[in-house]
Structures are given as structure tokens and as C-alpha cells.
Structure 1
Amino acid sequence: MVTPARSVPHDGLLRIEDCLDADGRVVVPAGVNLISLIDRNIANVGDAPAYRFLDYSGANDGAVTELTWRQLGDRMRAVAARIQQVAERGDRVAILAPQGLDYVTAFFAVIKAGTIAVPLFAPELQGHAQRLDIALRDSQPSVVVTTASAAAGVAGFLADLHGVPTPRVVILDEIAETDEFEPVELSLDDVSHLQYTSGATRAPAGVEITHRAVGTNLIQMILAIDLLDRKVHGVSWLPLFHDMGLSMIGFPAVYGGHSTLMSPTAFLRRPHRWIKALSDGAREGRVVTAAPNFAYEYAAQRGLPGPGEHVDLSKAVLILGSEPVSIDAITAFNAAFTRYGLPPNAFRPSYGIAEATLFVSTIAPHARAAAVYLDRDALRDGRAVAVPAGAADAVAHVSCGQVARSQWAVIVDPDTGTELPDGHIGEIWLHGDNIGRGYWGRPDETRRVFAATLTSRLGSGSHAEGVAADAYWLRTDDLGCYLDGELYVTGRRADMIVIAGSQHYPQDIEATAEHASTMVRPGHVTAFSVPGEGEPGLVIVAERASGTARTEPAPQIAAIHAAVQARHGLSVADVRFVAAGAIPRTTSGKLARGACRADYLDGKLRR
């Protein structure tokens, strides 16, 4: 068990032990929320940095802007006062702003005002207009907060949003300092914000995240990842409207640390910027970051330091939060950056989900990320059977470690509600105070997803021990199992490909296609089924790798057909190569297989 002894160098700041009961369970005290935590930081470390932003837009080349806790507090107060003038208590207030310190201020200020934050994004984010439209129609905010630079685009987008009340627009740049703010009492069970799901498998839905859920999950994350030292700080390019991005501005608020931020575009254009920021952060202490599979693979390919450049990753903690986690991403990053001091235990493969605020599980701080190899045929039958790494049907799966303190995860037969024993694959169900309250405005879906009940538990070794028999559980739609006390995530129910009565994991087929052809852009291939005559047909869509525009595709397509047939026993109905960027992704960078399938069926994916 991690000791919280290092969490108290400043009187008046939150002590982690104050959030644990006599049995060591996480219990957020009344009155503790993001706003009260920021107030503590202002009172105790007000002149210390809270958030920094590295600006790579326009002619800027990493120009640094910074907010101390006191400056953040002053700005929050002014913005919150303005919001109180135009919104009622409990109204939804959407944030449609570019990545930056204004976004951080707006998110906290909306909550401080007693309204419900809806963290979204400016319409300038390409390829996600439909997601923004859905979220605005669903949440129906009375107010939209934006910046002067994004105001014209926001106004144009709202003008086209027919059929819903038009929200009032507040421009952050025009808000002056004021003393008109009216303090608001925030209950632990009040909704802090609506966290919209990524839309990887269905339309985005707004999860009602309470102050209790936020506080619980931040404490769970800090304990599990060992962020107890106040010198630990964050570096992140993740979108601030994404649950993982919000966590990277949330954990410094707990006890006065800081985070350095940049935009996703800055990372994508030059991934070395992320590496450099991690190295620069090492001068101040341990530095934690988080990203999905593709980011670590991309950085390994395109983010290496130049000749003679000094890079120090010896104090880096790398959260890898994809579902499922890729051992190839870990191996590639380690191979590229071990020479720069990257510790062997730097990676923290983790499992998280928006409906649980974010964090569910990770490996122990001293552990090294590792994969087990499971038999492909057994996986199809719902069993996790370990085989040697070199076995013909071996499929790598990375451990996501142990479930966070005061959170429970059980593996369940989703059709019967029966808990399954270790080594059997089923749906992951979750329970704990970090679980969201439900989906905004969707009572039927809330009951189905957030109010599941176990019909039976294991007689011994139940992972539900300590939870009341009639307690509600969250259905995640994620598939997984326990092996040797550790949680493995194997895929998503909605993504499973079923042909001739046999189940297949799409990521397994995608890996086969990627390794079969040099024309496939690594990490940019999707597999899904489409209606066919009798049985569904298997379709593989791959983006062309760099430098292959003139490569004759026919031999590459034949190689993919042969490899999939040999390894999976499946005939491929169609292999389609498309231009780089053609495969839809979620706002967090995950493959959006459902959206890709829809584009394919609509004829939008041209060869």
C-alpha cells in the first residue's frame, strides 16, 4: 500500500490522509472540491506556478505563458462573476475555446459560478463538427464561453444550430476584474461538469460527473500512480475537453502542483515538443504525462532528439491509457528513448473510462509494463489461456494492473449478470464513488448502463467483495478478464466482428494486416464487418504509408488477404487503401471504427 506521508509539506494544503477513512478507503470530505482546493492553493502557495502553456501557434515557437495560483484565482473570480450575470444556478455553460490557459480558467470559473461546465472545443477543430453539434443539442447550454480569436467561428456555428435555444456568448478577453462574484456552496453530489464520451462506438453522451466523483477519482489516481510528492508535475498536449486532458489539470489542484500544457496540434506537427517538455520538466522533479497508443508510437518515429541535443527522461512517468494497451507502442518508445535515461518502469499501462470520471486501474509504481500471450482460439471462446510468445496463435495483451483503491471491477456475463471466474472474458462492470451519476437527459440509457445488478457472485475469490449485494454497477461495454490478480482489457463489445458464429477482435485482424503489408501506415488500419449475402463480410481499410503513393496496391492487397486467411481463417471481402487522414478518429485520437464503417457504407472512402 502506498503511504501518503509525503503529502504534507505545507500547512493548510490538502492532506491525502484526510481523504481516507480508518480502513484506508477513499472518502472525500464535505466541502472539498476543485474550487476549494484551488482556494487552499491560493492561500498557501499563491505565488507558485499553477499552469503553463507552450504556444506554438503562428510565429510563436514555444512561447511560455504562466498563471500562478493567485493569478488563476483572480481571473476565475472575474469570469465566474460574469457567468453569474447571464446564467442561473445549475445551467449548463459550454466552453468552446482553443487549448490554452483561457480554457483552464473558464472550466474552473464555470464550476465556481455554480453552473455546470460542458467542456467542448472551438469549431475550428477539423473533422468533429458533428460531435460538437450533438453535444450542444444534447446539453442545451444557456451560455457559451469562448475567446476573441474563436468568437467568429463560434457565432457562425451557433447560427447554424437550428431547433435549440441560442445560447448567450461570453468572450473571455472582454471580462474585466470585478468584486461582484457571489460565493456558491457546492455540494459533493452536485454536478461539476458533463463529460462527453469520445464517440468511438456510438454518438457522444454527456456523463454527469459530480464533485464527489471528481475528488474520489483524483485521489485514486494520485495514490495508484504514486503522485504524492508535491514536486511531481504534469506535461500534457491532450485536449482539455477530454477526460484524460481534464485529469492533467485536475491533479495539480489537489495539493498545489503545476502542469505544463500545449495543444494537440503542436504535438502532431512536431512530437519532439512533447519529449522536450518532459525533459525540461525533469529539472523540477518527477514529471507525469498521459497519452494513447498512437502518441507513443508517433513520438518514437518522429520525436527523436537531434544530434548532440541533451534530453533527460530519467524522471518521466508515462501513463498509457488506450483500450487495449499496445505492447508494440511500449516497445517502440522504450527502444527509442531508453538511451535518454527513460526508466524501465516509466510506463503505467492503465484503464479508464469517461463514465468512471476517468481512472480505473494501473500497474504498481515499481512494476514494469509487460504482456502475456493468449491463445487466439481460446479468446474467441471467451477464455484467457496463456501460451508462449512464439506460438503461432499467440496474441499479446498488456496488464492494466490493479483496480484503484475504493473502486471495484468485476468480469460479468453481460447477458445473465453472473460474475465470471478469473481467466474468463466478459464485460467489465465497475462500482465506486468515482462513477458518474448518469447520462444527461437520457434516463432510459442511464438505467441500462449505470444501474446494472449482479445476479450472482463467485463463491470464493469474488472481485465484488465489500460491495452491497443490491448495489448498482456500471456496464462499460469493455471486455476483459483477470489473470493472476491483474486486470486485462481485451476489446470492446461494440467492435467485435462476428462471422460464421465466431467472434474476432478487430485489433487482432488490424495487426495482421499491418504486418502483412509495408503499404499500411502503422496504427492507421481498421477492420469491421458489413452486411453480405448470408454472412457478414470482413472489410479492412488502411491508410497508405508515407512514400507509397505510387506503389501498386494489388500485391499488397493479396498479401493481406493471404495473411488474414492464414491467421484468422477469414476471407476478406474488401481491402481498401485510402489517403493519410481518411480514417476517422475520436477527439482523443482513437480509431473510430463505427464512423469508418459508416463512411465505407456511404461510399465516402475512395481508393
Structure 2
Amino acid sequence: MPDTHAAAPTTPDLVARLEYFATTRPDAIAVEYVDDRGHVIEEQTRTWSQLHRTASATGSDLLARHDPRDRVLILTAPGLGFLNAFLGCLYAGMIAVPAPLPTDEKGMSRLARIVTDAGVSEIITTTDLAPVVEGWLGESMSDNCPSVGVIETAVPDETLGSPSHAQPFHSPDAIAFLQYTSGSTSDPKGVMVTRRNLAHNLAVIDRASRLPDSSTVAGWLPHFHDMGLIGQILYPLFGGHRGVHMSPATFLKRPHLWLKMLSDFRAAGTVAPNFAFDMCVRRVTEEQIRDLDLSKIRTVLNGSEPIRAQTLRAFADRFAGAGLAVEALCPCYGLAESTLMVTSDDPEPFHVLEVDEDALAENRVVPAVADGLRSLVSCGRAEGLDVAIVDPRTEARMVDGRIGEIRVRGASVAAGYWNNAAATAETFERTVDGLGGYLCTGDLGAFVDGRLYVTGRAKDVIIVNGRNLYPQDIEHSSREAHPALAGGLAAAFGTGENDGRIVVVQEVADGGGDANWADVRSCIRERIRLDHGAAVAAIILTPRKTVSRTTSGKIRRAEMRTRFLDGAFDEIAIGSVLGRVNA
């Protein structure tokens, strides 16, 4: 029987909230997973009471083998195995290290670096993957090889207790988990997210999501990425909502199943990056839309990568007939170093600012009055965090309308990078107007009327004749230049520091072999000239899956630049199905 008189937790700690919901709504469904057809997997469904008991048992088991604060790497496919392992680490005070299953040598090399950097004591996986993980360890980690444990997903007996939460390792400043960055240009760095960081940011997300009590949150994001782990998996547990989860692979194969899941489960909230909305606009058919009811959706968080006004408008128009309210679309900004969310837009139609592109190239945000405009999407306001736009040369705040470096201070900002004092000092210990403790995000943006507009990454800006051009805008122009490029990724970058030479690596669409590639390249040059007033020094046309991305889907522009300078693309392109398109 639920204990309706149970006291609400006095702190927003996730474990305390799980215990509270297990007491007050023990038999309500807390989490469930669906298969590749969108059907509920019964053995992957848990009530609040079952989830709490399983996490408690897992935590007790971990404490029997390890000391508190030991690092435990979690290597599983999407499902209850990961959730049980992660929550078990939280209950026991162990430091969880979520990681993606490697699919190639590059992924295995990255995983080995994470295991070594974190000093992992044990790798937890599922029964079916244990032999594979042990074989990989034998080949890759001859020294200091961690043990391999198998996570149990069966619900334990109700008489089992949980580890005591009064122990010192459950203090708010204890590290909850290490979120390893993508490591696009260097070894991956482990962001130290404390229990206080996690609790504060989950509360920030809760306020931004504005969901009714006991709602349903559904999504498909990977559990090892900060947006999937915190925004999709942990947030509904913190808010007392039902979580419904789908494999990322299922979404990529059948995007409409994400929307069907939202419809079937009458979900009120979901979260995804910008490309997912583009994919749904392109691939969900009219027949599939007729079977959807998206009228219950209150909040659709959009973040993790540059947000395009064109995408938001197309998604809102495409699914308006299925009941989707444009007010539900909520652009936001965040990063792993601030746990996840920093700002989010207001509960009203998203705000778009049409600005003068020439002024933008001069680091000014000025409303456009004629041709040559760019649409900037508001990422909203900060709540509970101090967000500053800073001149990186003087470290002074800049006035509204001026583009500078985005810096953040507050309880969501992580404790630094694991075992990396130099990188921690460079990123987490910056000042604004003489006050210390600010996180340097590496992103550029401006405030206008109190709303944050993110313009790009500082390290990716291409300087042409003293003008700042943003690679994501050039990439968008390239993709839109010719039908043979539809759906292909692009990477734009400069060839050297301030030399003004722009290179575009552009994937071509599958089945685009009949195109005249000289014409395609001419179209790209002309489109970029018209859109940005810039000439392109080189265009490399490549097959699909050439443009490299991080585990979160962001373009690895620095890596692509290195490959271009090393001459790696010539051989790839000439030997491809495209023929000698770049010869």
C-alpha cells in the first residue's frame, strides 16, 4: 500500500526522491522500454518500488566488492541493465562512468583511454556482452585490467535493504559520475558531476519542462550522452514521471516510431537534438502522421547542437495536423561541463531574431532591415545560474547585442575534469569582472532582451577578411545547394589561423551518381558566395559516412581539417562510388 503520509525529501538528491516515490506510489510504472516496433518489453518494465529495490540490491552488491568512490564503468546496450547499474552506483556512493559500446577500432581505443584515465575498478555489463568485454580487455588492457561484473535485472526480495544514505560518500559534494567528453581533438576528459550538480540541474530541467504531476516522458537518446542520461532518463525519475525509452538505433531506422511512442503513451515531454526534427520532417509520411495524436505534448526540448529556425518551423508545420502545439517547442542551451541545461526558452512560441549577417560577422547582433539576414533562435533565459557574455581579452561583461564568450557560474557547474588539473583551471576557473569560479564554455553568443542567442563555437569560427563566419551556416548553405546533397553531412573549416581559406567537405546523397559533379561544386560555391559573401578555396565531395562526428552527433571539424591537410580525402573520394569527382 502506498504511504500517502510519507514526508517529501528535504533535499533534491535523486536517491532520496526515488525512495520517496517508491513509498508513495510503489505500484505505478516508473520506467519501461519498447522494442523496434514500439511495443512494450514486459521484462524491461519496472514500478517505482521494483526500481528502488533493484537499485538498492545492486548498490549493496557493489559495496561488497569495492570501496566507496571507486569508479565503475557501465558498458551495456540500452535497457534496464544500464539503469540498474547506474542507480546502483548512486545508491552505493560509487562513481559511475557511462560509456558507449565500441563499434570499431577507434571506439575501442577511446574506451581504453577512458578506462585508464578513470582508473576503473570494474566494468559492469550484461550477461550476453560479458564474453565480448572480457575478450576486448584481454587484447587491449594487458596492464591494470579491471574486473568484469554482470548486472542483475531481476527484482530482489522486498526484505532486502539499501545502503545507508547517511554515509559521508553521499554528501552533496561527492562525485556522482564521470561524463566523458567526445574527445574530438584530444583524449576524452571526464567531467566530474557531483550529487549537488545533478540535483540542481535536474531541478532546472524540471522548471523548464513545466510538466504536470505524474506525466510521461518518452525518448530515444543514448544513455551514455549527457542529454540522454540526464534529460531523458534521470529527469523523469527525479520529477516522479513515467519514463518510456526506445533504442537510438530504432529511431534512426524508423523515425516515425519516436512520434508514435509519444502518441501511444500520451507523453507530455520529450527531448532531442536538432537533426532529429529535420529527420522527422523528411521521412515521416502523411499516412503515418494521420495515425498520430501529439496533442498531449507540453514540452519538446531541443538542444545539444545548433538550433535552426527553419527546422523548428518545418517541424511545427508538418505535425500541426497531429495536434502538436507550436508552444511546446522549447529551444535550450547546455553542455556537459554544466551537468546539462543552462538556459531554456519561455513557454510560448519560440523566439527567432532576424539579424544582419554583416553585423554578425563583426560580432554585433543587429536586427536585419534588408537582404543578407540570418535567423538566430533564442535559447531562452537562465534560472538559478549566472550566465555572462564576456570579452575574452578583458574578461569583462559585454552589453546586450555584443557577441562574446559564454561563461557560466552556479550550482550546476561541474567540479572540473577528473585527474586533469591543468584543463580544469583553463576551463572551470575563469573570471568575469574580477569574480572567479566561472566556467568557460568555449561557445559564443549574445544577450538580446534578456534572452541568450548562441552563435557558434569560438574554436570553429572562420575569419575571412576580418569577418567572423560560422561553419554551421556555411555547412547549411552547402547542403541546400543541390538536390544531390540532400541529407548528407558537411564540414566547413579554415585551412589555417586567419588565412581566410574556406574548405567544405560535403557528403552526397545515396543514389546521386547521375549528377554532374562539376555542376554540383559550382552550385555549392555560388550558394556560399550569395549567402555569406565568401569564396570557397576547396570543395571535397565524398560518400556518406565520411564526415566524422562525436558520439553526440557533433561535427568533428578539427579532425576533418587535419585529414584534409594530410591529403586523406583525395584517396577516399577517388576510390569511391562517385568516381573521380575531385580529381
- TM-score, normalising length from structure 2? 0.90
1:598 and 1:133 map into 2 onto residues whose CA distance is 23
Distance 1:369 1:202, change over 3 A: farther
1:369 equivalent among 350, 356, 360: 350
- Alpha carbons 1:397, 1:488 under 8 Å: kept: yes
- Alpha carbons 1:13, 1:41 under 8 Å: kept: no
1:89 and 1:368 map into 2 onto residues whose CA distance is 47
1:559 to 2:523 alignment: yes
In structure 2, the residue matched to 1:537 is 501
Residues 182-581 of structure 1: matches in 2 within 5 Å? 182-184=163-165, 185=167, 186-199=170-183, 202-227=186-211, 229-247=212-230, 248-282=232-266, 286-304=267-285, 306=287, 309-316=290-297, 317-365=299-347, 367-388=348-369, 391-404=370-383, 406-455=384-433, 470-522=435-487, 524-531=489-496, 535=499, 537-581=501-545
- Alpha carbons 1:46, 1:70 under 8 Å: kept: yes
Task: Give the superposition deviation at 1:86.
Answer: 2.3
Distance 1:255 1:560, change over 3 A: closer
The one-letter amino acid paired with 2:386 is: W
Task: Give the superposition deviation at 1:84.
Answer: 1.6
1:308 and 1:109 map into 2 onto residues whose CA distance is 40
2:488 and 2:379 map into 1 onto residues whose CA distance is 21
**Where does structure 2 lack aligned partners over 5 or more consecutive residues?**
574-583
Tell me whether 127-136 or 334-343 shows the greater mean CA deviation: 127-136
Residues 162-201 of structure 1: matches in 2 within 5 Å? 162=141, 165-173=144-152, 177=156, 179=160, 182-184=163-165, 185=167, 186-199=170-183
Task: Give the superposition deviation at 1:149.
Answer: 2.0
- Alpha carbons 1:305, 1:311 under 8 Å: kept: no
In structure 2, the residue matched to 1:25 is none
The one-letter amino acid paired with 2:473 is: D
The one-letter amino acid paired with 1:599 is: R
2:31 equivalent among 51, 60, 68: 51
2:443 and 2:336 map into 1 onto residues whose CA distance is 12
Task: Give the superposition deviation at 1:201.
Answer: 5.9
- Alpha carbons 2:389, 2:445 under 8 Å: kept: yes
How many percent identity over aligned positions? 34
- Alpha carbons 2:171, 2:195 under 8 Å: kept: yes
- Alpha carbons 1:80, 1:109 under 8 Å: kept: yes
1:12 equivalent among 1, 6, 31: 6
Task: Give the superposition deviation at 1:243.
Answer: 1.0
In structure 2, the residue matched to 1:33 is 13
1:81 equivalent among 60, 64, 73: 60
- Alpha carbons 2:32, 2:41 under 8 Å: kept: no
In structure 1, the residue matched to 2:576 is none
2:93 and 2:505 map into 1 onto residues whose CA distance is 46
Q: What is the DSSP-based 3-state SS (H/G/I as helix, E as strand, rest coil) of the residue aligned with 1:522?
A: coil
Distance 1:550 1:473, change over 3 A: same
Tell me whether 61-70 or 211-220 shows the greater mean CA deviation: 61-70
2:8 and 2:453 map into 1 onto residues whose CA distance is 33
- Alpha carbons 2:354, 2:368 under 8 Å: kept: yes
Q: What is the DSSP-based 3-state SS (H/G/I as helix, E as strand, rest coil) of the residue aligned with 1:412?
A: strand
- Alpha carbons 1:315, 1:343 under 8 Å: kept: no
Task: Give the superposition deviation at 1:81.
Answer: 2.3
1:584 to 2:568 alignment: no
Higher RCO (C-alpha 8 Å, min separation 6): 1
Residues 54-73 of structure 1: matches in 2 within 5 Å? 54-56=34-36, 63-64=41-42, 65-73=44-52
- Alpha carbons 1:50, 1:259 under 8 Å: kept: yes
- Residue deviations 1:167-194 (CA, integer Å, cap 9, x gap): 1110114989485864353100101011
Q: What is the DSSP-based 3-state SS (H/G/I as helix, E as strand, rest coil) of the residue aligned with 2:459?
A: helix
Distance 1:156 1:550, change over 3 A: farther
Distance 1:162 1:423, change over 3 A: same
1:105 equivalent among 84, 97, 114: 84
1:136 to 2:130 alignment: no
Distance 1:330 1:566, change over 3 A: closer
1:292 and 1:126 map into 2 onto residues whose CA distance is 27
Distance 1:66 1:507, change over 3 A: same
Task: Give the superposition deviation at 1:409.
Answer: 0.3
The one-letter amino acid paired with 1:561 is: R
Distance 1:220 1:176, change over 3 A: closer
- Residue deviations 1:22-60 (CA, integer Å, cap 9, x gap): xxxxxxx3xx42212111111111111111101229xx9
Task: Give the superposition deviation at 1:428.
Answer: 0.5
Tell me whether 166-175 or 133-142 shows the greater mean CA deviation: 166-175
Distance 1:74 1:475, change over 3 A: same
**Count of aligned pairs:** 561
The one-letter amino acid paired with 1:581 is: K
1:274 and 1:329 map into 2 onto residues whose CA distance is 17
- Alpha carbons 2:343, 2:381 under 8 Å: kept: yes
2:330 and 2:105 map into 1 onto residues whose CA distance is 31
1:201 and 1:375 map into 2 onto residues whose CA distance is 32
- Residue deviations 1:512-540 (CA, integer Å, cap 9, x gap): 212222222336111012249x9363211
- Alpha carbons 2:54, 2:153 under 8 Å: kept: no
